[in-house]
Structure 1
C-alpha cells in the first residue's frame, strides 16, 4: 500500500455517521416495539387467565351453594322440628346467626338488593352490590359416619368415625320429625360440665356402649354448659327414637358479599360462615348481582325474576337464583372501557384499564319443589 492510499483513509464522514446512527436507532426501535408488544400480550394473557379463573371459581362456588340451600334432612316441614335450645341463653340471643336457629326448616334464602352503607361481620359491603344469604344443613359427620341403631329411646349413637364435638348445635332428623339441640358431651372426648342436667365429661365415657368401639354416645342434656359460645338446651326429651334411618346434620348460614380486598387491592368476594368473621374467597370480583325466580302459583315454574325482598314469604317462593358476577384483572392492561348492564338494568362503565368479564348463571334450588 502506497503512502498516497494511506493518506486517503480519514475515517467516516459526518453524513455516513448520521446514516449509521439512524439505521441503528431504527433497528433498536423495532426490537423495542417487538419486546413491548410481546410484554403487553403476556400481560393481557395473564390478566385474561386470572379473570377466567376468578370468575369461573366464584360462579361454580355460588351455584353449588345455591343448589344445596334450604336442606334440612327429610323432616316433613318446619313444624315437625322441635327446637330444644334455650332461647333466653345469652349465647343464643347474642348470636349473629340467631335467625338461622329461629328459621330452622324454613326461610333458607335471604338477600339484600343494591346495598348502601351496609356491613357484614364488621366489613363494609361495596355500595350498589347485592348480598346473598344461604341457610341449610350439611352432614355433621363429614361423610365418614352415620347414626347407629339404639335399643334405648333416649340414647343417641354415632359411628366412631363421626367427628362431632361438644358444644356444637346439630339437627337430628328422619322423615317423621327433627330435633335441634346442642351436643353436651361425646363419649371418650369429654364435654361441658352442667348444673341440673346430670351431664359431665366423665358421665359420657362408655355410656350405653360397653366395650363396643365401633360407635360412641352423644348426649344432649339440659343445664348450664360451661363451654365458650355453647348454647344451653332448655329441653332434652326427643319426639321419638332415632336410629339408622336418621341423619345428624350441622345447620349453617353463609352470607356472600363484595368488599374491598384486604391484600391484593381492588374488590373481592367474601363469605361470613355461621357466625365466623368474614373470609376472603375470590379476589378480583367487582360486582355481585342477584335475582330470584319466584314460583307464585305452585306449578314449579318461575313466574318472574325479582330482586331480594325483606318479605320472608316471598323469598320462600324463590325456586331458582340468577347470579351475575363481574371479574377483573389484578392490574391495568390498557383494556378498553367496558360498560356492563346489571340485572337491575343499571349501566356501570369501567375505565381504569383493567380487563373485565361478565359471568351470568342460573341455579335451581334443589330442595324447593321438584327437581
Structure 2
C-alpha cells in the first residue's frame, strides 16, 4: 500500500509538472508572438518623418517582369489579408528602416552622394525624403568615390531588375537636409512548421521564404481601427475585406490582434472540446489534449498618430 501510494504521488506530481510546463510554454510563446507583432505594427508606415507624408513618388518600374506589387508597390504601409471564416488572417507591413543617412551634397542627375559608410548595396530599394518630398527608387549600383570618402548611389533608369522607370523626376531636388533609408517589407501569417508539422507564426522579410518565428500559434485574427475624422481615435474596427471595400487603408491607425496559442505536449486529462473566441470569429480546434489560450491586444500604428 505504501509503495502504491508513493507511486500515485509520483504520477500526480509528474502530471502537475507537465501541466505547469505546458502552461509556461503557452505564456512564453504568447508573449513573444504578441511582442513581435506589437513592435512591428507600431513601427509600420514609417517614412522618415513624424506623422505621414501626403505622397511618395515610386520610381520602381512597374512594367518590368520582376516587379512585385507586394514587394515594390509601397502604396500601403499596412495591408491585411482576410483569411475568411475561421482561416487565419495575414498582414503586410512596409516602412523605411534605420535612422537615415544624410545626403552629402545637392543630388545631381541619377546620383545621390552619401557618407562612405552608408550601408547600401546593389539592388536595394532606397527611400529618400526631406519631409517635404519623398521618393522610392531602385539602387542599380553603389560605388565608392572621392578616395573612399563618399558612397554614390546610382538610380539610373532601365538598369537592374526591376529597375527604375525614370531616372530622376524628384531625386535631383534633394540637398543636405534629406536622408536616405533602406526599406523593409514584412509579411506575417500562420502556417505549418516544416520541422513539426504544427501551426506557427511565420514571417517573410523582404521577399525571403517564410520562416517560423513562434511555434504552436494556431490562429491569428485581425481587425483594423479606422479613424474617419482624423482625430486620432478609431471610430470603428473592420476586417481587411471591409477596409478594402471602402478603400480606407490610409485611415487605419490601429490593429486588433487575437492569437490562439497551444502547448506542444498533450497534458489535459480529457479532450479539449472548447471553442475559442478570437475577436468576432469562433475557433473550434482539433479535439486533442493540448492546452490552449487566447491572447488579444490593440496595437496603435505610431507613425499614423499626429
> Contact conserved, 1:158 with 1:215, CA < 8 A, in 2?
yes
Encode CA deviations 1:128-176: one digit per residue, 9 max, x unaligned: 221222222213xxx5x72242155344222222221011121111112
Higher-Rg member (1/2)? 1
In the alignment, the residues of structure 2 paired with residue 248 and residue 277 of structure 1 have an alpha-carbon distance, to the nearest angstrom, of: 27
In the alignment, the residues of structure 2 paired with residue 99 and residue 301 of structure 1 have an alpha-carbon distance, to the nearest angstrom, of: 28
SS at match of 1:52: helix
Q: TM-score by structure 2 length?
A: 0.88
In the alignment, the residues of structure 2 paired with residue 131 and residue 321 of structure 1 have an alpha-carbon distance, to the nearest angstrom, of: 12
In the alignment, the residues of structure 1 paired with residue 205 and residue 299 of structure 2 have an alpha-carbon distance, to the nearest angstrom, of: 21
Number of the residue aligned with 1:27: 2
Ranges in structure 2 where 5+ consecutive residues have no aligned partner:
none
SS at match of 2:156: coil
Ranges in structure 1 where 5+ consecutive residues have no aligned partner:
1-25, 117-126, 189-205
User: Is 1:296 aligned to residue 252 of structure 2?
Assistant: no
> Contact conserved, 1:294 with 1:317, CA < 8 A, in 2?
yes
After superposition, where does 1:211-290 map in structure 2 within 5 Å?
211=147, 213-225=148-160, 230-239=161-170, 240-290=172-222
Number of the residue aligned with 2:113: 157
Residues 179 and 231 of structure 1: CA distance in aligned 2, closer, same or farther (over 3 Å): same
User: Is 1:173 aligned to residue 129 of structure 2?
Assistant: yes
> Contact conserved, 1:335 with 1:354, CA < 8 A, in 2?
no
Q: Indicate which of 29, 32, 36 corresponds to 1:54.
A: 29
Residues 335 and 112 of structure 1: CA distance in aligned 2, closer, same or farther (over 3 Å): farther
> Contact conserved, 2:120 with 2:182, CA < 8 A, in 1?
no
User: Is 1:311 aligned to residue 213 of structure 2?
Assistant: no
Number of the residue aligned with 1:5: none
Encode CA deviations 1:290-341: one digit per residue, 9 max, x unaligned: 1111112222211112211223622222111111111111110115634311
SS at match of 1:65: helix
What CA RMSD, in Å, does the superposition of the two structures yield over aligned residues?
2.3
> Contact conserved, 1:146 with 1:244, CA < 8 A, in 2?
no
In the alignment, the residues of structure 1 paired with residue 34 and residue 173 of structure 2 have an alpha-carbon distance, to the nearest angstrom, of: 41
Q: TM-score by structure 1 length?
A: 0.73
After superposition, where does 1:1-371 map in structure 2 within 5 Å?
26-74=1-49, 76-78=53-55, 81-92=56-67, 95=68, 98-102=69-73, 104=74, 106-115=75-84, 128-139=87-98, 146-150=101-105, 153-154=108-109, 155-188=111-144, 206=145, 210-211=146-147, 213-225=148-160, 230-239=161-170, 240-309=172-241, 310-311=244-245, 313-334=247-268, 337=272, 338-348=274-284, 351-370=287-306
In the alignment, the residues of structure 1 paired with residue 61 and residue 103 of structure 2 have an alpha-carbon distance, to the nearest angstrom, of: 27
| Per-residue deviation, 1:345 | 4.5
In the alignment, the residues of structure 1 paired with residue 209 and residue 153 of structure 2 have an alpha-carbon distance, to the nearest angstrom, of: 29
> Contact conserved, 2:47 with 2:53, CA < 8 A, in 1?
no
In the alignment, the residues of structure 1 paired with residue 87 and residue 139 of structure 2 have an alpha-carbon distance, to the nearest angstrom, of: 41
In the alignment, the residues of structure 1 paired with residue 107 and residue 237 of structure 2 have an alpha-carbon distance, to the nearest angstrom, of: 50
> Contact conserved, 1:171 with 1:250, CA < 8 A, in 2?
yes
In the alignment, the residues of structure 2 paired with residue 322 and residue 335 of structure 1 have an alpha-carbon distance, to the nearest angstrom, of: 33
Encode CA deviations 1:227-255: one digit per residue, 9 max, x unaligned: xxx32222222424434432222333322
> Contact conserved, 1:130 with 1:288, CA < 8 A, in 2?
yes
Residues 151 and 265 of structure 1: CA distance in aligned 2, closer, same or farther (over 3 Å): closer
Residues 135 and 326 of structure 1: CA distance in aligned 2, closer, same or farther (over 3 Å): same
Residues 128 and 160 of structure 1: CA distance in aligned 2, closer, same or farther (over 3 Å): same
